[in-house]
Amino acid sequence: MGPSANGPNMIPIHLPRGFRASAVHAGIRRNKTRLDLALLEADEPRPLAAVFTKSLLLGAHVTVCRESLAQSKGFVRAIVVNAGNANCNTGPKGLEDNRAVAKYTASLLDCEPAEVLFLSTGIIGAQLPMDRIVASLPGLCDGLREDNAETFAKAIMTTDLVHKLVTEDLSGGGRLAGFAKGSGMIHPDMATMFGFLLTDVALEAEPHELLKRVNARSFQRMTIDGDTSPNDTVVLWSTGLAGEAPPDTLEPAVTRVAQELARNIAADGEGATRLVTIRVKGAPSEEAAVLVGRTIGTSPLVKTAIHGRDPNWGRIIAAAARAGVPFDPQRSSLAIGGAVVYRAGLPCPENETAAHEHMLKEFEVIIELDIAAGAASAECWTCDYSADYIRINADYRS
Amino acid sequence: MGPSANGPNMIPIHLPRGFRASAVHAGIRRNKTRLDLALLEADEPRPLAAVFTKSLLLGAHVTVCRESLAQSKGFVRAIVVNAGNANCNTGPKGLEDNRAVAKYTASLLDCEPAEVLFLSTGIIGAQLPMDRIVASLPGLCDGLREDNAETFAKAIMTTDLVHKLVTEDLSGGGRLAGFAKGSGMIHPDMATMFGFLLTDVALEAEPHELLKRVNARSFQRMTIDGDTSPNDTVVLWSTGLAGEAPPDTLEPAVTRVAQELARNIAADGEGATRLVTIRVKGAPSEEAAVLVGRTIGTSPLVKTAIHGRDPNWGRIIAAAARAGVPFDPQRSSLAIGGAVVYRAGLPCPENETAAHEHMLKEFEVIIELDIAAGAASAECWTCDYSADYIRINADYRS
């Protein structure tokens, strides 16, 4: 059974066993109809692995969460998330505010402050409206429910046009639920990507290594504009209430859910009109395939060509050829939507119409490049660049 | 005396002593009023250093020119340049065609074929119209004149809106003339950047090392869209007829001319409305400063913010923070047009209006970032991203 993304339906989605969620409008965002403060809770402190942004610029939560996870040895009871304000570039007060919210939430849930993580996303350079957040926390805790998955997914959105929620039932009876947010790095000045991977299946002894492998094959393979946010955070968290998963089933399932979330983020890229899947084959290593795919997926020239539905093999080959991976463009081949547009150093103009039709008709444009330099492959995801991307990002902050 | 860019004037610009230039419309471009085949000639085979694209995808001229320079030991009599067709992805015929043009030109100028370089820029994946080029070569050779600098600069343009020609008179009587072309990598599918640095001052024994240093401080510090073309070529060529330059004057002068050309290319970026100068100070090394500056200059978020005249310190700091250079954003400061908008980890909202005014009024936006991690500095150049960039690059090839 593959992962299923959440479409419009009437049946509330239940979280994996032991998890509950809640969300309220605390007044962090101006829009009063939008949820902006959310809570995920486990039945008791449960093992959690986290990976944070590699940027040198860090949101306050990155610093405090690392401290808390070290202190709690990775056992987490609750995660509070706010949207609308990233608590980044807020100095020592930003750190204090983060700790205060964790501490107050811990008192409401009757656990240790280090067992509560508080994550922030939204604009940078502004202090959190602490009075409103603190005033909303009791109601937030009171609202915890097992079937609030969709509410949580909606509450963490910032510039996202759609919420990102993917679930998968495991063969042994366990469940996975994944949430993500992010649609571009910063609008107008925003710290962005979150991924939450929840399961009731017991994690292996070293969940951090598992999460690193999953992250490398999912969120790390998606790009909107090549920028990295100071707040990017991905967590893997398990109650273990469903026991062990059958051998060799957990990691592939978590990877599928995370990849589907990553594809959802790419598809919701700012101004995007196409999801672009880039498959690189024949690479000397998986890392090399990723490097080539990511270079193609970051090229403004490739992304604008896709927006123009232009099967522009030249820009794709040229991007690959500067990725730093040794290969011979004269031995490579390239297909768009299955139509081979470049082979052995020469274009195949007879197939350009078929490639153009694929780009016109399909929301997901599929680019397959074989660099004939090995046996490894990888898939990356991006979106096209439209004039709307410029409009969204060039508006003067008001 | 600093370098002077060529503005509208009535006085023909003379090349450095010993050089002559010529250009014709050969019919490579469809537009019959545009020159598309050009020639630079030295009085006899003269020392030339060249740097070529680092892409794995190579235009035919890169392969053949390397062979010719090896054979001629770097002594070059003439350079033929065509615009409108890059002779890239053209297979073995592309190599043959390049050699045939060099050979015929050599016979017309009475020199060795290896002493003639033939450079191509324009669309990729199409064979050269050899009949038209060959038919035009005698007239091209007949038209050589010492005062044809501007004609040559115009003939090598592709998507450039303005020609790029910079001259400087050296204190000892020698002269420098620099030409460049390039405004984005590929439109619609184009292999792009050329730089020609000509002088009558004698070069040092190892001109290649001199050119590498100059290139690293000029063309390598400019970015339009982060893409690298398969045909990028920069040459430094000297007749030596003005003798030696005064000590320590040649390299700074060549660097100034090359930097002015690089700034002209950035200012003429596709859809650009602003030239952006990024000065990074306080870096652990010059290379580190360049890495930070180039990461800022390649960020679509920074470039769209500049288009919106938005003094968005967050995007600039965030781009710097992911450049791979260790520094502490909490100790850094950032000024736009001299107005400090970020200092010690916190924004300075009181100066944002001044920065915004600078961006509104000046064509050249100046960003100064001090990362407080050393004593080195560097300057990079880029342009803003406008919706016109998308429009120019997303048009389906017709």
CA distances from B82 to A40, B191, B384 (A): 64, 12, 29
Query: pLDDT band for position B361 (50/70/90)?
Result: very high
The pLDDT of residue A187:
46
Q: Are residues B90 and B157 in the same domain?
A: yes
Distance set, CA A51 to CA A230, B101, B159, B183, B325 (Å): 12, 58, 44, 40, 20
Backbone φ and ψ of A88, nearest 5°: -130, 145
User: CA of A319: which chain B residue's CA is closest?
Assistant: B227
| Same-domain check for residues A284 and A236 | no
One domain for residues B76 and B8: yes
Q: Is B192 in the active site? A: yes
Pick from B250, B267, B284: which residue ends a domain? B267
Q: Quick one: pLDDT at residue B12?
A: 81
pLDDT for residue A271 is more than 60: yes
Distances (CA, A) of B14 to B11, B17, B18, B148, B178: 9, 8, 10, 7, 12
Q: Indicate if the pLDDT at residue A189 is higher than 90.
A: no
Cα of B230 to nearest chain A Cα, Å: 7
Which tokens belong to B49? 């250093």
What is the average pLDDT across A337-360?
96
**Distance from C-alpha of B149 to C-alpha of A43, rounded to nearest angstrom:** 78
CB pairs under 8 A between A and B: 195
CB contact under 8 A, A319 and B227: yes
Residue B2 scores a pLDDT above 60: no
Q: Which residue has the tokens 């501007």?
A: B150
CA distance B295 to chain A (A): 10
Q: What is the CATH number of the domain that holds B361?
A: 3.10.20.340
Range scoring the smallest mean pLDDT among A24-38, A218-232, A304-318, B341-355: A218-232
Residue B11 pLDDT > 80, yes or no? Answer: no
Domain count within chain B: 2
Give the residue numbers spanning the domain of A366.
275-394
Please check the confidence at residue A124 and state whether its pLDDT lies above 60.
Answer: yes
A243 and A345 co-located in one domain:
no
Looking at chain A, which runs of residues are DSSP E strands?
4-5, 19-24, 37-52, 75-85, 116-123, 164-169, 175-181, 190-191, 194-199, 233-238, 275-283, 333-336, 339-343, 346-347, 364-370, 376-383
Confidence of residue B186 (pLDDT cuts 50, 70, 90): very low
- Interface contact A396-B54, CB threshold 8 A: no
CB contact under 8 A, A56 and B329: yes
Which of A267, A293, A328 finishes a domain? A267
Cα distance between residue B57 and residue B43, in whole Å: 34
Is the domain of A347 the same as that of A222? no
Residues B115 and B261 in one domain: yes
A109's tokens: 């849930």
> A326 to chain B, minimum CA–CA distance in Å?
8
Active-site residue among B53, B90, B167, B192?
B192
pLDDT over 50 at B187, yes or no: no
Residue A89 has pLDDT above 50, yes or no: yes
Partner residue facing B186 (CB), from A57, A318, A327: A318
Q: Hey, of A57, A183, A330, which one would you mutate to test binding to chain B, going by the most B CBs within 10 A of its CB?
A: A57
Number of C-beta neighbours around residue B209 at 10 A = 11
Domain of B77: which CATH number? Answer: 3.60.70.12
* A340, β-bridge pairs: A335
Q: pLDDT band for B274, please (50, 70, 90 cuts).
A: very high
What integer is the mean pLDDT of A336-347? 96
Given pLDDT bands bounded at 50, 70 and 90, which one contains residue B1? very low
Residues of A in contact with B230 (CB under 8 A): 318, 321
pLDDT of residue B30: 82
| Least confident among A212-226, A249-263, A346-360 | A212-226
Structure confidence at residue B161 as a pLDDT band (50, 70, 90): confident
| pLDDT score recorded for residue A372 | 97
DSSP conformation letters of B175-234: EEEEEEE-SSS-SSSEE--EEEEEESSPPPS-HHHHHHHHHHTTGGGB-SSS---TT-EE
Q: How far apart are CA A389 and CA A398, in angstroms?
A: 18
* Mean pLDDT computed over every residue of chain A: 92
B288 and B242, same structural domain?
no
| Residues A302 and A241 occupy one common structural domain | no
Return the amino acid letter for A286: E
What are the structure tokens assigned to A197, written together? 């991977």
Tell me: do B193 and B58 sit in the same domain.
yes
pLDDT for residue B15 is more than 70: yes
Residue B224 has pLDDT above 80, yes or no: no
Helix (H, G, I), strand (E, B) or coil at A356: helix
Total count of residues recorded for chain A:
398
* A50 pLDDT above the threshold of 50: yes
Query: ipTM exceeding 0.85?
Result: no
Per-residue pLDDT at A186 exceeds 60: no
Q: What is the dihedral of CA A347, A350, A355, A358, to 10 degrees?
A: 180
Last residue of a domain, one of B267, B298, B328: B267
What is the percent of chain A where pLDDT is above 70?
94
Give B3 or B280, the one with higher predicted confidence. Answer: B280
Confidence category of residue A4, pLDDT binned at 50, 70, 90: low
- Residue A308 is classified by DSSP as T
pLDDT of residue A5: 54
CB atoms within 10 A of CB A131: 10
Lowest-confidence range among A14-23, A134-143, A350-359, B266-275? B266-275
Checking if the pLDDT of B350 tops 70, the result is yes
For residue B183, the model assigns a pLDDT of: 72
Whether A393 has a pLDDT exceeding 80, the answer reads no
> Which residues in A lie closer than 8 A to residue B385 (C-beta atoms)?
300, 390, 394
Could you tell me if A367 and A232 lie in one domain? Answer: no
Kindly identify which residue of chain B lies nearest to residue A318, measuring between CA atoms. B57
Share of chain B above pLDDT 90, in %: 77
DSSP letter string, A33-49: TS--EEEEEEEEEEEEE
The pLDDT tens digits of the residues spanning B22-77 come to: 999 999 988 888 999 999 999 999 999 999 988 898 999 999 999 999 999 999 99
By the 10 Å C-beta count (0-12 exposed, 13-18 middle, 19+ buried), B184 is classed as buried
- Interchain pair B228, A322: CB under 8 A: yes
| Residues of B with Cβ-Cβ distance to A308 under 8 angstroms | 393-396
What's the 3-state SS for B264-303?
HHHHCCCCCCCEEEEEEEEECCHHHHHHHHHHHHHCHHHH
Shared domain for B158 and B101, answered yes or no, is yes
Predicted local confidence at residue B279, as pLDDT? 98
pLDDT at B83: 95
CB-CB neighbors (< 8 A) of B315 in chain A: 185-186, 189, 227
Closest CB to B57 among A321, A385, A389? A321
Instruction: Give the active site residues of A.
Output: 192
Do A321 and A232 belong to one domain? no
Q: Minimal CA–CA distance to A278: which of A227, A333, A327, A221?
A: A221
Q: Is the separation of the CB atoms in B292 and B325 below 8 Å?
A: yes
Specify the pLDDT at position B185: 56
Per mean pLDDT, which of A33-37, A53-57, B130-134, B168-172 is the most reliable? B130-134
CA atoms within 13 A on the CB side of B304: 28
Find, in chain B, the residue whose alpha carbon is nearest to that of A328. B56
